[in-house]
Amino acid sequence: MNLLSAQTRFSPVSLLFVLLIVVGCKTTSIDTAQTSPIPPRLIEPLKFVNFTVSQINSLEGISNLLSAKVSIKQDSVLGDYDWESFTGWPGTTNHAETINEFRAGVEHDFSARYPFDRIKYNIFKSVSDALDFMAKAKPSKANYLTGNYGLEFPVSILAGNLGSDDWEQIKIDAGKGMTLKDYAKTGHPNLLTDIRTAGNTLTFYDTGNKCDYVVKELARGDVDGDGCEDVLIAVSTLNQDGNGGYYQAYVVSRTDPKQRQVKLVEFGAAK
């Protein structure tokens, strides 16, 4: 049964594009048009108990992975912590080993009681979102935006750890087209520091809210049907005590290769 490639490995295409963001668009150019379709692909391998998935080639493969046991050994903070249960408020405990179990008992009604539960939730949610994205994704004909694209994210990506007053200012700044690059300028009240890009991951520190942000590419493919590659990213925070916090998945797109700011749409809302 040709379900998927289940060994830990990166395809040449994944390595080639690991620092690119390729996005929804309405125009093409000689420099960015592709001579052959770009297949949908995982950027962040999915880790299950006893095997790792680097690429998915069929809907049948996705269906089978929904019932496979997810591994949380990928997170060193958790160690040998009980990974099968999620404890929420007011003390309820949900059991989940697979994505199907996670979706049935945890995903839609969960508020972490302990920080480790949030870390586990983020792991399961990122696997769930990646499988949904791959089920929707089609081959792409073109890509745009090379280089350090992460600094071109709108500042609305910071919403997860903000209080109400901060969020009002973020909305105003996002409406002005401000990006992370603007917030990284010395002297800005919401200064972002320690900005780093490594592989498919962007990290930075939010001095105002005293937390680290991790922005990770999960998968790529055309999910809006315009022929250009979109990117699924997961945004999570790490508080000063080293415990997990906020998580949100977005689809990244851009309609014009010369446009300064990329577009973010919460995953699930993208068409």
pLDDT of residue 2: 35
DSSP 49-116: TTEEESEE--HHHHHHHTTSBBP-TT-TTTTT---SEEEBTTS-EEE-SBHHHHHHHTTTS--BSSHH
pLDDT of residue 33: 52
pLDDT of residue 242: 54
Please tell me the total count of domains within the chain: 2
Residues 110 and 177 in one domain: no
Domain boundary among 81, 101, 136: 136
- Using only the alpha carbons of the chain, give its radius of gyration: 19
Domain boundary among 136, 167, 184: 136
**pLDDT tens digits for 171-184?**
888 889 899 999 99
271 lies in a domain? no
141 lies in a domain? no
219 lies in a domain? yes
Residues 16 and 76 in one domain: yes
Residues 59 and 151 in one domain: no
H/E run at residue 212: strand 211-221
Contact between 219 and 227 under an 8 Å Cβ cutoff? The reply is no
pTM for this entry: 0.80
Residues 96 and 168 in one domain: no
Domain boundary among 136, 164, 197: 136
Contact between 113 and 200 under an 8 Å Cβ cutoff? The reply is no
Regarding beta strands 51-53 and 211-221, do their DSSP bridges make them parallel or antiparallel, or are they unpaired? unpaired
Residues 14 and 132 in one domain: yes
Contact between 217 and 201 under an 8 Å Cβ cutoff? The reply is yes
Residues 118 and 12 in one domain: yes
Per-residue pLDDT of the chain (271 residues; tens, 9 = 90+): 333 433 333 343 333 333 333 334 443 333 445 568 899 999 999 999 889 999 999 999 999 999 999 988 755 555 555 556 777 666 677 888 899 999 988 887 777 777 778 888 889 999 999 999 999 999 988 787 566 788 889 998 987 655 556 778 888 888 898 999 999 987 777 789 999 998 889 999 988 778 889 999 999 999 988 888 899 999 988 765 555 578 899 999 876 777 777 888 999 754 3
Contact between 209 and 162 under an 8 Å Cβ cutoff? The reply is yes
pLDDT of residue 17: 35
Question: What is the span of the domain harbouring residue 171?
Answer: 146-266
**pLDDT tens digits for 85-127?**
777 666 677 888 899 999 988 887 777 777 778 888 889 999 9
pLDDT of residue 240: 59
Helices (H) and strands (E) in the chain, counts: 6, 15
Contact between 4 and 55 under an 8 Å Cβ cutoff? The reply is yes
pLDDT of residue 13: 37
Instruction: Spell out the SS3 assignment of 9-53.
Output: CCCHHHHHHCCCCCCCCCCCCCCCEEEEEECCEECCCEEECCEEE
Residues 217 and 131 in one domain: no
